[in-house]
Amino acid sequence: MQAAALGERRRDFRVMGVVGLCHFFSHFYQLALPPLFVLIHQTEGYSYGSLALLITVFYTTSFSLQLPVGFFVDKFGARPILMAGVALMAGTTILYGLVPGYPALVVFSIVAGAGNSVFHPADYSILNASVSKPRLGRAFSIHNFGGFVGYAVGPVLMAGMGALWGWKTSVMIAGAAGLITVLVAIALSTDFRDSSHTRRDTSRSPDLKADIKLLSSAPALLCLVFFALLAGGQMGPQWFADKAYFLAHDIPVVLGNSFISVFVVGIIIGVLAGGVVADRVRDHLRLTFVSFLLSGLGMVLMAIVPPSPLIIYPLFAITGFLFGFAFSSRDLVVSSLAPPESSGKVFGFVFSGLDIGAASVPLVYGYMIGAALPLEIFYLSGALIMLSGISMALAGKSAAARPETQ
Instruction: Please give the Cα distance from 137 to 131 (Å, whole number).
Output: 10
Q: Average pLDDT by consecutive 10-residue portion of the chain (406 residues)?
A: 72 93 94 89 90 87 91 90 96 95 96 94 92 91 94 88 94 96 94 75 64 86 94 89 90 87 93 94 92 97 94 96 94 84 86 86 85 93 96 86 53
What number of other Cβ atoms are within 10 A of residue 396's Cβ?
23
Work out the angle at residue 326's Cα, subtended by the Cα atoms of residues 320 and 330, and round it to the nearest 5 degrees: 140
Q: What is the pLDDT of residue 238?
A: 87
Give me the amino acid identity at 333: V
Q: What is the pLDDT of residue 358?
A: 82
Query: Whose CA is closest to 277, among 324, 336, 316?
Result: 324
Q: What is the pLDDT of residue 151?
A: 86
Residues contacting residue 64 through CB under 8 Å, at least 6 positions apart: 117
Q: What is the pLDDT of residue 3?
A: 65
Instruction: Please give the Cα distance from 193 to 69 (Å, whole number).
Output: 17
Domain architecture of the chain: domains with CATH: 2-206 (1.20.1250.20), 210-399 (1.20.1250.20)
pTM listed for this prediction: 0.88
